[in-house]
Amino acid sequence: MVEVRAAGPDAWADVAAVMGERGDPARCFCQYFRLRGQQWDAATRDTNRRDLRNQVRKDDVPPGVLAYDGRTPVGWCAVGPRSSYPRVVASPNWRTDHKDAWVITCFVVPVGHRRQGLAGELALGAVEFARSQGAAVVEGCAVDISTASRTSSADLYRGPLSVFLTAGFAEISRTNDRWVLVRKHL
């Protein structure tokens, strides 16, 4: 049984363990949507790691949720108010009439824990966390994997469309075949 809970001040070691030492999560540390243009260009693995560590340890509202299998952290989902993600606010893929929506921006499930339904558990946990913080709407920019012959695991960081639909989200719009704005009213 997987438990999903907010990544609060004491959870940094678990967040770091999920992000790992290699690959996109270990470079980005879920800062891509928080930075734009030159800020992102100037960011390094170390500054991104430091920034997420500070967000986990110091922000009034944790920047995401963690999935645990017993005591072992096995997944991460970044979720927060739309206004905390400047790249989301500026992106045509995230055009919305719900400016106060919360957004799910990233999923990280380490190798060895994939294909076990963790992304779905994380999505549900992120929705419940957003609800507990007073959110009325949660959105995501899902990846429709049915439109490509093959999708790498690195391209799934936004979450597969099927995960969102199973979690009760509805398709709102598409800016192309792959990117699908989804929404769930709470």
Count of the separate structural domains present in the chain? 1
Domain of 30: which CATH number? Answer: 3.40.630.30
**Which residue segment(s) compose the domain that 78 sits in?**
2-185
Residue whose token pair is 């049915």: 146
Quick one: CA torsion of 161, 167, 168, 170, rounded to 10 degrees? -20
Write down the pTM of the prediction.
0.92
Strand locations in the chain, DSSP E? Answer: 2-6, 64-69, 72-81, 102-108, 137-143, 170-174, 179-185
Q: Residue 132: in which H helix or E strand, if any?
A: helix 118-132
pLDDT of residue 119: 87
* Residue 41, CA atoms < 13 Å, CB-side half-sphere: 2
Which tokens belong to 34? 């928080």
- Of 135, 118, 111, which Cα lies nearest the Cα of 65? 118
pLDDT of residue 116: 77
Average pLDDT per run of 10 along the chain, which is 186 residues long? 92 92 84 91 92 94 94 94 93 86 90 76 96 96 80 75 95 88 96
pLDDT of residue 153: 63
Alpha-carbon distance values, 51 to 28, 31, 75 (Å): 10, 8, 19
Helices (H), 10-102: 12-19, 23-28, 37-42, 45-58, 86-90
DSSP state, 116?
S
pLDDT of residue 138: 97
Contact predicate 49/29, CB 8 Å: yes
Report the alpha-carbon distance of residue 103 to residue 146 in Å, rounded.
23
